[in-house]
Each structure stands twice: as C-alpha cells, then as structure tokens.
Amino acid sequence: MQLTVLGKSPAWQDADGACSGYLLRDGDTTVLLDCGNGIFGKLRKFVDYVDVDAVVISHLHADHFIDLVPYSYALIHAPRQQPVPVPPWPGTDSPARPRLVAPPGAAKTFRQVVGAWGNDELIEQAFDLEEYAVDSVIEVGTLRFSFALMPHFIDAYAVSVTSSNGGGRLAFGSDSRPAQELVDFARGADLFLVEATLPRPERTGVRGHLTAEEAGDHGRQAGAGRVVLTHISDELDQADAGRRAAEAFGGPVEVAREGAVYEI
Ligand SMILES: [Zn+2]
C-alpha cells in the first residue's frame, strides 16, 4: 500500500498546512485516514473526492475529523452529484456516498457539531456512516483495518492497516500519552506513524501526548521497522525533533512532510 501525508499538523494548522489526514492507496482501493482541518482541500490535490472508498477516523477530536463538514457539503451540493445535468456535468443517478468508518459515539458527536447550525443529518446524509468497536476488523477493498484503544484525553483508537496484496503493516498511533498499550499496538509494525506533539512533557494535568523522544522510544520498544513522526507543528524545529527521536529509537527517524509518500 502507499501512504501519502496530506496533513501532519497538530490541532492548529501549519502555515498553508493541514491537520491529521493520510491518503492510503492500494490498487483500486482509496481510503482517507483521518480528516482534520484543511484535509479536504489537500485531498483534492491527489484524488477526486468522489473516488474515495472510505474515510476512517481515529478519534473524535476536531483536528482529526472536522473537515468531514466541507467534505459532506461537497458530496451533497457539488454539481456533479446532482440527478439533473449542471453543465458541464451530465447528472447522475448514483452520487458518490463513501463509507465513513468512525469511533463509537461518532454519530452523536457529528450530530452535535453540525446540529449547532441546525443541519443535524449533514454528515450521515453525505456518507454511509458505520461506528466500529475496538475489536472490529473493517475491510475496504484490499485493505484491512483493526483498532486499539489508546489513553488520550478522550478515547482514541490507534489504527492498524494491512493489505491483501501483501506488503507490510502500517501502525498509526492516533493520539496517545506514553503507554504500554502503544508499544503493544506498534509491535513489529513495518511503518509506525506516531505523534510527536510536544517539545517537552506536559507540566500540569493529565498527559495526553508524546514528545519526539517518547515517540522514538515507543518505536524502539515495539521493534518497529520505520518510525515517522507526525502531529508536529511547524513552530517546532523538525530536524531537532527527528534527531531526538532517532537517538531514542536507535536508528533514523523521519518527520512527516505534507506530500511525502511511503510504500509499506
Ligand atoms: Zn486528539
């Protein structure tokens, strides 16, 4: 499978950037993993949004799902999605309605968000919504998704992806505080895509994120093949974060860049 980084920012976008979003392509299968702020526009640079088979959401923080709102408006209102011709579009009897594979409680959260302006059903009308459980195995075309619950400020689901076409396993850690669960989840992954939000551990309150060193150390404990840092602001020194993570990992570590492509 091929992973393209569409956005790697934390909860606020980099200059001209986007929050969490990764395009997975495997033969004819196209999946968007997370759909944070700015991702819909980035997605359109790489694929036609009506050709996405499924969107998979790791957890219900805005920076991981909020661009489902513009994506939904596109699916409902775009000229080429209408039953009648809207030049230059011919009209269609079968408008695209991608699957939306989202965490437990997603339907309620989505209704609350778009319900704020009285459009409760927007996301469910646009997408074929299904909520996964932590032990679900979801197949989309040739790709197979499974999940693991991570300790974060809310329930966050790390997402494991493999392909029936062969290749390796992608382990996307979602958001997480330092945790044995994350090591267990990432064990033996060929590519461990892991958040490195923090310049240093949170000084107060419950922890929810990782530093670059912690991300690298989790990769080392898991025996991951490659480690790629993500969910990191352009206001931090990317090269320095990569160096610190590499030291903890015991090998080279990359920092995700928008548009970067990984073969897994
Ligand atoms: Zn989060």
pLDDT tens digit string along 143-199? 999 999 999 999 999 999 999 999 999 999 999 999 999 999 999 999 999 999 999
- Binned at pLDDT 50, 70 and 90, residue 237 comes out as very high
- pTM more than 0.85: yes
Cα(65) to centroid of ligand 1, in Å? 10
In eight-state DSSP terms, residue 239 is: H
How far CA 39 is from CA of 105, 144, 208, in Å, comes to: 22, 22, 23
Residue 223, classed as helix, strand or coil, is coil
In sequence order, which ranges of the chain are alpha helices (DSSP H)? 39-46, 62-65, 68-77, 106-115, 122-126, 180-186, 212-222, 238-249
Q: What percent of the chain has pLDDT over 70?
A: 100
Burial of 16 (0-12, 13-18, 19+ CB in 10 A): exposed
> For 37-45, what is the mean pLDDT?
98
CA distance 248 to 213: 6
Cα(89) to centroid of ligand 1, in Å? 39
Question: What is the pLDDT at residue 133?
Answer: 98
Q: What percent of the chain has pLDDT over 90?
A: 100
Question: What is the pLDDT at residue 51?
Answer: 98
Cα(264) to centroid of ligand 1, in Å? 25
> For 61-73, what is the mean pLDDT?
98
Going by their DSSP bridges, the two strands 143-150 and 54-56 should be labelled as: unpaired
Question: What is the pLDDT at residue 161?
Answer: 98
Write out the residues surrounding ion ligand 1, Cβ under 5 A: 61, 175
